[in-house]
Chains A and B, each alone.
Chain A
């Protein structure tokens, strides 16, 4: 099916209304405009294509069933959706199937929750965002890469790399300010 909705632009309000009415057109629009970004977030955590596709599917089903609970007053639609995607991804990471897969390909599975997010290379597509991250001071680039591209939480980052949580938060806050100027204002 061609991307018929790609050239049409809906306001967020119109899109939300259509999604709440459970109309197919609006879910297609959602897919055409946002599935790529959601998939990127998922793949950064889950890595394997098959599992990433599965999680993307689960994400859309979750969006469908929970859309009535989405409150525009609390934040943007995308923020809500990507949090669903990331949470489902982290759940998948802890699931037995992922665990078994890692065992099969000979990865280290010691420890209850194996986290290989910091050992493997990022997907090639990350080049798009990398050129902007390079413009940040290295400690800020580090924080953004792990939180946004590798799906870490701030607490996980602080724990794993022994950085005080407050320092992680400060670096993220500064980085977001700089990135706003680099990628939103342009």
Chain B
């Protein structure tokens, strides 16, 4: 069945005019449901149909409206309620609406502000946590510092001055060695600058053999090195590859000092 032929057959116009028997009408409805083009064509006819009658509208009296409305059995209680509604002064209604809008607006503003405030509160709390951690760290460092100072000023801590060798006559390093606790600290007065792949290494001579006790670059403050046990006869600093060596590169010796 060809849709265009169906539309052109005039059956849709007959349907709209109400001239089809029930079986014919049912068929048109089925076709319209099955084919959107038919449904659309039907709608166009209906629009034209209505427009024609609207253009041909007749003049009717106001009394007729009252009469017609009077014959329709509306529920009176509902009618009375409708009338009551209509009687509310428009100004009161407008004022109520205005008040509601203002309140709704204020509530919305507050809610938006609260959201921001909540976010700020969370941020402040997180900051507080971080500060507490930092304070804790600082306290621990302070404690350690105090312990180091105790060690340094202990009566049996030896201060050994390491003086420059022919490699670097201007160099000077102080070593603080506590034989009881085995702790070693150094304070660098002056050392040469090093390239990135090299580092200074501190050695303690024990029983004639050098023992490495840590690497460093150029510390500005007192630096705590590895502990060394045994009887140390001397301390020395050499230049080694970054990370240190197992045995000192003696030719590079920068400073040395006897205990």
Task: Decide if B8 is an interface residue (CB 8 Å cutoff).
Answer: yes
Q: Mark B31-67, 1 if CB is under 8 A from A, else 0.
A: 0010000000011111111111111111110101111
How many chain A residues touch B (Cβ–Cβ < 8 Å)? 58
Tell me which residues across on chain B come within 8 A of A172, comparing CB atoms.
10, 13
Chain B hits for A44, CB < 8 A: 56
The residues in A between 103 and 135 inclusive whose CB is less than 8 angstroms from any CB of B are 123, 125-126, 128-129, 132
Inter-chain contacts of A53 with B (CB < 8 A): 60, 64
**A-B pair number, CB within 8 angstroms:** 153
Q: State the Cβ distance, A27 to closest chain B Cβ, in Å.
A: 6
Contact B65 A76 (CB under 8 A): no
Contact A176-B13, Cβ < 8 Å, known A61-B71, A148-B53: yes
Q: Which of B29, B50, B52 contacts A129 (CB 8 A)?
A: B52
Residue pair A79, B16 in contact (C-beta under 8 Å): yes
Closest to B60 in A: A39
Q: CB-nearest residue of chain B relative to A148?
A: B52
Whether A40 and B57, one on each chain, are in contact in the complex, defined by CB atoms closer than 8 angstroms, is yes
Q: Is the CB of B27 closer than 8 A to any CB of chain A?
A: no
Interface residue A70 (Cβ < 8 Å from any Cβ of B):
no
Residues of chain B touching chain A, judged by Cβ–Cβ distance below 8 Å, are 8-10, 13-19, 29, 33, 42-60, 62, 64-69, 71-75, 78-79, 82
Known: A37-B57, A179-B52; 5 extra A-B contacts, CB below 8 A, are: A24-B79, A31-B69, A39-B57, A129-B52, A183-B55
